[in-house]
Amino acid sequence: DQQVKQNSPSLSVQEGRISILNCDYTNSMFDYFLWYKKYPAEGPTFLISISSIKDKNEDGRFTVFLNKSAKHLSLHIVPSQPGDSAVYFCAASYTNAGKSTFGDGTTLTVKP
């Protein structure tokens, strides 16, 4: 039973356009959500997070939206740049859990 799902294995966008990566979760106990970015042969690096008490968090070109009723979150990248090409993982955790549960990732390709 996969509790965090990223249903799109890949996404391709043109440089300068918006990239939207989606994530769904099933465990209603999750109250904290994170996005990580991973380049080949490197470990994932933290990108942005959001607490369940918010519905939006913005950091520069990156914005995460949370829809708790739909158990859905999305990451928006505007404008997309070729250096954004990577695998993006959605992760979820809950207070006192100690661990994060990850989705299987979406490979983003930004074409120049």
Partner 1 sequence: GAGVSQTPSNKVTEKGKYVELRCDPISGHTALYWYRQSLGQGPEFLIYFQGTGAADDSGLPNDRFFAVRPEGSVSTLKIQRTERGDSAVYLCASSFLEVGTGELFFGEGSRLTVL
Q: Which residues bind partner 1 (CB under 8 A)?
A: 4, 6, 9, 31-32, 34, 36, 41-46, 49, 51, 89, 91, 93-105
* Nearer Cβ to partner 1 (4/108): 4
Residue 45: alpha-carbon gap to chain centroid: 12
Q: Give residue for tokens 């380049």.
A: 39
CB of 90 to partner 1, least distance (A): 8
Q: Report yes or no: 25 and 104 within 8 Å, Cβ to Cβ.
A: no
Q: What are phi and psi of 87, to 5 degrees?
A: -95, 130
Output the smallest distance, CB 112 to partner 1, in A: 26
